[in-house]
Structures are given as C-alpha cells and as structure tokens.
Chain A
Amino acid sequence: MELNYRVLNDEDLIGLIKLNDGLALECLFNRYYQSLCRFIAIHLKDYSRAEELIADLFIKLWDNRSTQEIRSVKAYLFIAAKNMAINHAQRPKNKIDYCEDYESAVELPHTGPNPFDIISSKEAYHEMMQLIWLLPERQREVLLMSRLEDLDKNNIAAILGISVRTVETTLYQAIKTLQHMVKTSPNQL
C-alpha cells in the first residue's frame, strides 16, 4: 500500500489527506520531516523544540485539511514552519535564544543541546559554524537553505518571497562575508 503512496506527488497526497487518508499524511511527513527540522533550526536554537513544532505543523495541516487550499505544498510547509518558529520565539514566556541576538547567542552558556553545539564539539567545522551563526540573518538563512536537499533555488525564492537572482547574490554575499570573517578572525582558520 505504501508503495503506491511513495510515487505520488505532494499535491496528490494533499488530495488524499482531504479524503481523511492518514497514510498520505504519514508519507508527506516522512518526506519532509528531516528537512523541515533542519530548516526551522536556522531560526530556533532548541532542536527538540524544533521537532515539536514540526509535529504541530502536521497536526495543523490535518486539522485544516478540508478548508485549506494549498497550491504548492512544499512552499506551504516551509513558510508555515518558519512562521511557527518566529511566533514561538516571540512568545515572551519561552526563553528561546532567538537568532536576532547574535552576540548573546554565541556567549550565552547554553542549557540544552543546540544544532551547532552538538556537531561542532566533535567536528573540525566548529569555528566555521560559529561564524555562520554570526552572519546577517538573511545571508545565514539562504546559505543554510541552499544546503537542504529538498530545496532548489526556485523553492528558496518562493519560500522567502524573493527573486531567484536575489537568492544567488545573497548566497554569494554570505560566502564573501564568511571569507572576510575568516580573514579577520583571531584564530585564523
């Protein structure tokens, strides 16, 4: 049965979800879960919270299945995920290290595990990741999105509401900024 589902495109799956098909939801979930978690981690430092938010996203998708008209499923999922991350970060009760706070984000003693802490501790990319964290938000966002398997330039442009050309130049700027940071970094990577 799942065999049939895997060959269906996102829009067909949404059609099945409208017919109360839970398997179709599961298929869509498996298709994008990893990418969405990584994407949302660009905006949130708490990775386990990111996973909760993505589960919430699919619950909302299910609850609104009969009322919502979705044109591009992929763009919808990523845009909705980003909105959830931002809403979540702006809630005053939750003490989230939101990335707008570049300096504090780097200097704060982190209580829970976060994406770059976990990896950087073991990897030689530690400092480069810290520098990525210091990039202006849009540059960091585009650079990290460009590394997500499910997204191409056109997808990124659609999700961020910018032109494909802007995606390209922003990516270039991000790399240039990082190169400059490396040069001026006291540790000399």
Chain B
Amino acid sequence: MEEYYYQLIAHYFNKSINSEELQQLKYWVERNESNQRKFREVLRILEAAERYGQQPTSQAKSWALVANHVSQSLANEEPKPKIKKLGGWHRYAMAAMVVMVCGIGLLLFKSDRAKTGQQTIVKVISNPNGEQRSITMPDGSIVYLNAGSRMSYNAHFSTDKREVKLEGEAFFDVVHEARRPFVVRTGKVSTTVLGTSFNIKAFPAKAVEVTVETGKVGVVLQRANKKDIINFLLPNEQLLIDATTEKIVKQSINATDVSGWKQYKLVFYNMSMQDIAASIERAYDVKISFKQPRTAQLKLTAKFDKCGIKQVMEVLSKLAGTHYDIKQNNITIY
C-alpha cells in the first residue's frame, strides 16, 4: 500500500501527477505526521538522485572527436578526388567572348551514393558556395548540383513518380522510365520529363530558367485561381519564368554552355555584372561588392574554362573597364 503512495510522490516530483492522484496524495500526506515526514524524505531522495551526475559536460569536445573519426572514415571510403591536368595555357579571344583555360583544373566529385534502403526518408543535399557534386538517384538518374544550391527528395522514390525539390541550380540526366515521370519542383514552377537531360536554375527571388539539352521537357507554372500555364521545350531551347509577374520568355540557346558549370566552366551571355557576380560568389565562395552601382548594371558576355578566381576577375575587369581588389574572400570592384 505504501508503495503506491511512493509512486504518487514520484509522479508529483515528475510533475506527471493527475488531479485525482494529487487528491489522494494530499489526503495521505495530511493524515499524520509520519506521512508528512516520509513525503519530504522521498522528495529529498529524488532530488538528490536527480542532481547526481548533473554537471557541465564537454559535449562539443566529445563531438569533435566523433566528427573527426567520421570524416576520416568517409575520406578513406570514397574514391580519391580526381585531379585532371590540362594541357598548357590556351587563350581564345573572339569578339566579345573570352575563353580561358587554366593550367590546372581540379575536379572534385563528391558522390552521395543513395543506397537503396527500406525507410521512407527525405534526403537533403545542400552545397555550400564553392562546392558542387554529382548525385546518383535511386532510379539511376544523375543530378549535378551546383554550388550554393540545395535539393531534397524521398530516398525511396514513390511508385508513380520521381520527385525532386530544388533551390538553386542543377543539371539532370534522367533515366527514361515511361511509366514514372521525373518531376522537379521549384516553387510554383514544376518541370516534368520522362527521360532527358536538362538544366534548371532557380535561385530565390530570381526567374526560373529551364534549359533542355536532350529530349523533351514539360514546364508547368501553377497560378492561383487561374489555369496553369504549360510549355514544352526541345533541345537548345530555354524558358525563363518569372513566377511573380508570370512573365514567360522562350529563347534559343547553346544548352551545353548553360550546363558548362558542371565541368567548371562559366558562361555568361549578355548578363549583368550583378548576376555574373552572384554566379562567381557561388562558384568560388567569395563575396563581391561594387563600389559604383552603375558597374553592377553593365552587361557582358564571357566564357571561362576552369579558371582561378584571379584570372576570372582580371578578364572581367578588363572587359568592364574597372579595377578590382581581392582581400581573402572579399572582392571589391571599383
């Protein structure tokens, strides 16, 4: 019988007692002095037991030990980064286009092999600026995720469709499956394919750009209270969709230039310095600021092939007639 009241005291101490139990406990405690003493004593025991071993831990230090081990074990398992040496120096200068090939190009592939597990779990892959990687999807499709971009998908694609959410830029090489469309969601715009390769650029507060390299792609813009707009794209066609103004532009383009980033090429066609700077910030993990706002509006066309940041900045400032200054990761254009 007494054990029951001791349990009630424990519930009371844990703040998990219900009103009926509380009533019973109150009655028991008030019955006599001996019960009151026991009540206080049990509380003191529980309090002491609660405080036992409670002390600041060096959790961060311990995690650093574990994290160090984890990164080492992953580094040992994955194939070593491929370092590809390219020929000598080549420079091609054409009209308003500059092609530069640097002495050394570093190809770093981090493959996130999504092994087929049985759980339904959302997999999120996020690239910081300056880092890109290729991902092999559960269906064998390959996704190249650009720097400063992030995608998520169900680790186990559902049986009726293959769905991916994207924020930023990625190139998709989709394995053909007639019964299971591959859908890329970028806010209100979704791109549906059966099996093709295409590039999507969808950074926050920017127009979504879909560019097709092979096959046929359907792009849907969802609109509130209105019919969705559907566009079909063929190779070397690009669709620019502004989800807020609902303005849509279709144009012809060299699709391999658009997806050049996955070979560490940067191609800018008649692009504002501001947008070019945003691409460079993501690709090289730097911060670019303009001393004169007018420079940011300048439009340029340029092409870079595996160049270091200094070479890129050298060429851009020559084209734009400006100067630049690099301090660690901060670049100022003036």
Contact = CB atoms under 8 A, between A and B. Distances in A.
Interface of A: 1, 4, 8, 11-12, 15-16, 18-20, 22, 25-26, 29-30, 33-34, 37-38, 41-42, 47-48, 51-52, 54-55, 58-59, 62-63, 115-116, 118-119, 123, 125, 128-129, 132, 143-144, 146-147, 168-169, 171-172, 175, 178-179, 182, 189
A25 B50 CA distance: 27
Given A22-B74, A37-B57, A146-B10, A119 B69 contact: no
A132 B50 CA distance: 11
15 contacts: A1-B126, A15-B119, A20-B112, A22-B67, A34-B57, A47-B53, A55-B66, A119-B55, A128-B44, A132-B52, A147-B49, A168-B3, A168-B7, A175-B6, A179-B42
B38 interface: yes
B168 to A, nearest CB: 14
Q: Across chains A and B, which 10 residue pairs bring their CB atoms closest together, nearest first? A: A128-B48, A15-B119, A125-B48, A38-B53, A41-B53, A55-B62, A115-B53, A55-B65, A147-B50, A147-B49
Which residue, of A26, A29, A175, has the highest number of chain B Cβ atoms within 10 A?
A175
Contacts of B52: 38, 41, 115-116, 119, 129, 132, 144, 147
A37 B52 CA distance: 11
Interface centre among B51, B115, B122, B150 (most CB of A within 10 A): B51
B51 A123 contact: yes
Contacts of B126: 1
Contacts of A172: 3, 6-7
A51 B62 contact: yes
Contact of A16 (B3, B47, B48, B121): B121
Given A63-B73, A128-B44, A42 B121 contact: no
Given A16-B121, A33-B59, A179-B45, 8 more contacts: A15-B121, A19-B123, A20-B77, A33-B63, A62-B73, A129-B48, A144-B53, A179-B41
A62 B57 CA distance: 22
Contacts of B50: 147
For the complex, would chain A's binding face be called helix, strand, loop or mixed by DSSP majority? helix
B54 interface: yes
Interface of B: 3, 6-7, 10, 38, 41-42, 44-55, 57-59, 61-63, 65-67, 69-71, 73-74, 77, 112-115, 117-119, 121-124, 126, 150, 155
A119 B44 CA distance: 15
Contacts, number: 130
Contacts of B67: 22, 26
Nearest to A24: B121
Nearest to A35: B53
Contact of B49 (A8, A62, A63, A146): A146
A81 to B, nearest CB: 13
Contacts of B44: 125, 128, 189
A182 B43 CA distance: 14
Contacts of A62: 66, 69-70, 73
A22 B119 contact: no
A110 to B, nearest CB: 14
Contact of A19 (B51, B61, B115): B115
A173 B46 CA distance: 13
Contacts of A128: 44-45, 47-48
Contacts of A12: 119, 121
A25 B65 CA distance: 13
A15 B121 CA distance: 8
A101 B122 CA distance: 50
Contacts of B51: 119, 123, 125, 129
Contacts of B65: 55, 59
A143 B13 CA distance: 13
A29 B66 contact: yes
Most buried by B among A4, A19, A116, A119: A19
A168 to B, nearest CB: 7
A19 B123 CA distance: 10
B128 to A, nearest CB: 11
A78 to B, nearest CB: 14
A115 B69 contact: no
B76 to A, nearest CB: 11
B49 A22 contact: no
A115 B58 CA distance: 14
B33 to A, nearest CB: 15
Contacts of B77: 20
Contact of B114 (A11, A19, A29): A19
